[in-house]
A and B are shown apart, each in its own frame.
Chain A
Amino acid sequence: MDRFRMIFQYFQSNSESVMNGICGLLALASVKMYTCFDFSCPCLPWYNMAYGLGIMFVPPVALFLCGLILNRQSLVMLEEWKRPQGHRKKDLAVIRYMCSSIMQRAMVAPVVWIIVTLLDGKCLICAFSGSVDPEKFVGFANASPVQVQQLLAKVPCKDDELMRNNTFRKAVSRYLRCWSQALGWSVLLILIVAAFLARWLRPCFNQATLLQARHWSNYIDIEQKIFEETCCEHSRLFAHKCILHFFESMRQEIKLHSFSLPREGEGDEGEEDILQGITDQEQVNKLLKMWYYERPPLDVSQVTQR
């Protein structure tokens, strides 16, 4: 009983902490991926915007989907949502609670990616260098609009022969990076304030419903885990009985066909049980061949009823 309670507590506390751990790992993985990724802006007029915005938005979508896939609770929620009603009513509040907690956890890694991207600045410089107003910067005199566009498109590439030691390149880069970092810090501030308000103000609204929803969502999670454990236990016992039944049948068959006298009491009782009357090389070979060619049926009802 005590052990059961320990296991119960383990499951209870572990589900949330496992999910939080996965969430944290994904966030760290997203930062690591960004630093490992070799950002190389194409420095061509239309490609820049596509590349820059692509790098800013496509990986977060992939990270979000990863966050949903790795979270075990999303499967539990889907099963609860799609199951036939049967004898147990479905509580939409519980499903909504589970959905919102899954989404919140899955959003962490994408948000981390976007913020790191903005604070670093390379993406925005690449994407918007062509959209900067050339009037603000010196060095564009006597250049046709097409040339201006080409020059601006090359700003993110420091090593390009036109751009080395070019003052307006540095000016445009600094300008765009300033905007990018301002945007990054603003997004971070807004998100933190929103999270703070949500957590602080939540007890003011519907606390009772929230407690109920949280309890029943934990319950559904634990119930499913215990069902899987019970199925494993059951299949183990089923297999055990099936194999014993098989050995027993072999022993009966051997008794029918051989003339060896039954043992009279002497000898190890324990060894006797394990040997199950199979005491000969041919008998063992036959047993193994039978096991392969004619697997016993999945029916241990005679054994359990005996």
Chain B
Amino acid sequence: MDKFRMIFQFLQSNQESFMNGICGIMALASAQMYSAFDFNCPCLPRYNLAYGLGILLVPPFILFLLGFVLNNNISMLAEEWRRPQGQRGKDQAVLRYMFCSMAQRAMIAPVVWVSVTLLDGKCITCAFCTLVPVETLGNTSHPGLSQGEMKRVLARIPCKEIYDGQELIANEVAVRYLRCISQALGWCFVLLMTTLAFLVRSLRPCFTQAAFLKSRYWSHYIDIERKLFDETCAEHARSFAKVCIQQFFEGMSTDLAATRCHPPKKAPADAGEAAEKLLGITDQGTMNMALKSWHRCKPPLHLHPPALASGNGWTGEGQTPAHPPVPRRETAAYYSRV
């Protein structure tokens, strides 16, 4: 019991560090995914913007949802939200706390993706290359092109091999300009996110500390209660199964004695525990019959007390199990206990 309690405390205190570990792994995975991804700008006027912004914004959304999916507590939150009220009121503050802490952890991988994308610069270069200010950066002496022509030429900036506007504006100049803007945006985004995180973390003790302690306690409680209930049910199922099987074997050896018309072999007094465990089955034929019976006609899920023990249907097939005598009402005298 003591050891169980120590392990339980370790798991409990470590669940937060376990979730933080998953967060960190997802952040690293998102950075790795970006570097493994083979970015291919289409270099066509309208497609560039769609592709660039798509790569910038769609994977973070997917990573955010994945962050929720990988979090074990999402089912706990859903269960607490949807359960009927019954005798226990629902505290909205606890639900909000659980949702906020999950959302904060799920935000980390998307933020890492967006930061790495912006700091690398390829996405913004691809998306906004048609908006480069040619008047300031390019050669003003170049004969004017129509709008469409100019956009087509500028759209090829990210693809150096097919770029044909070197007289209009040098490729390196445009790429440097766009990358500078992208990196500035990236660092501003990183600064903004860090400031937000800092504010969220530091304003909480100043305003809502008591409510926070309450929500945190009850959200841990709900988690522990769910785990303990599952464990209690598992233990109950184990005992249920054990007694059920014991009664099956007992019933079988009684039936066997009845059909063979001789008393069951009494184990000699000094045979000890091993003989008891044999449950009256001591030869191959009997064992085979026991196994066949277990397969063809499992005993009902009803543990009868020893005084009312009867055959459990080994000799026949499809014997109806004993029903509880009175059908119960749905609303119960359970209320009377509390």
Which residues of A are in contact with B by a Cβ distance under 8 Å? 37-38, 40-44, 47, 50-51, 54-55, 58-59, 61-62, 65-66, 68-69, 74-75, 78-79, 82-83, 157, 159-161, 228-229, 231-233, 235-236, 238-240, 242-243, 247, 249-250, 252-253, 256-264, 266-268, 271, 274-276, 278-284, 286, 288, 290-299, 302
Contacts and interface: CB of A to CB of B under 8 A. Distances in A.
B121 A38 contact: yes
Contact of B242 (A47, A51, A271): A271
Interface stretch (B262-270, B289-297, B298-306): B298-306
Contacts of A266: 306
When A and B form their complex, which 10 residue pairs have the shortest distance between CB atoms, in order from nearest?
Answer: A281-B301, A294-B86, A279-B303, A42-B180, A239-B225, A235-B221, A65-B194, A78-B205, A249-B337, A274-B239
A79 B84 contact: no
Nearest to A252: B337
B191 A261 contact: no
B102 interface: no
- Please classify the interface of chain A as helix (H, G, I), strand (E, B), loop, or mixed, using the class held by over half of its residues: helix
B143 interface: no
A292 B194 CA distance: 41
Contacts of A302: 338
B308 A75 contact: no
A79 B187 contact: no
A263 B305 contact: yes
B86 A293 contact: yes
Contacts of A259: 325-326
B176 interface: yes
13 contacts: A40-B121, A51-B183, A59-B187, A83-B209, A229-B13, A232-B9, A239-B224, A257-B333, A260-B304, A264-B307, A279-B243, A295-B86, A297-B88
- Please classify the interface of chain B as helix (H, G, I), strand (E, B), loop, or mixed, using the class held by over half of its residues: helix
Interface in B159-173: 170, 172-173
A50 B187 CA distance: 13
B317 to A, nearest CB: 20
Contact of B184 (A54, A229, A263): A54
Given A68-B198, A159-B172, A271-B239, A243 B229 contact: yes
Contact of A61 (B179, B183, B191, B302): B191
A48 B83 CA distance: 60
A111 to B, nearest CB: 17
Contact of A263 (B87, B228, B306): B306
Contacts of B225: 239, 242-243
A125 to B, nearest CB: 15
B194 A69 contact: yes
A42 B303 contact: no
Interface string B311-338: 0000000000000111010001110011
Contacts of A283: 324
B119 A37 contact: yes
Contacts of B84: 292-294
Given A75-B205, A257-B326, 14 more contacts: A54-B187, A65-B198, A78-B205, A229-B9, A231-B220, A236-B228, A239-B224, A253-B334, A258-B326, A271-B242, A274-B238, A275-B243, A279-B302, A295-B87
Nearest to B176: A42
A263 B333 CA distance: 22
A247 B229 CA distance: 10
A224 to B, nearest CB: 11
A280 to B, nearest CB: 5
B205 A256 contact: no
Contacts of A261: 305, 307-308
Interface in B189-248: 190-191, 194-195, 197-198, 201-202, 205-206, 209, 217, 220-221, 224-225, 228-229, 232-233, 235-236, 238-240, 242-243
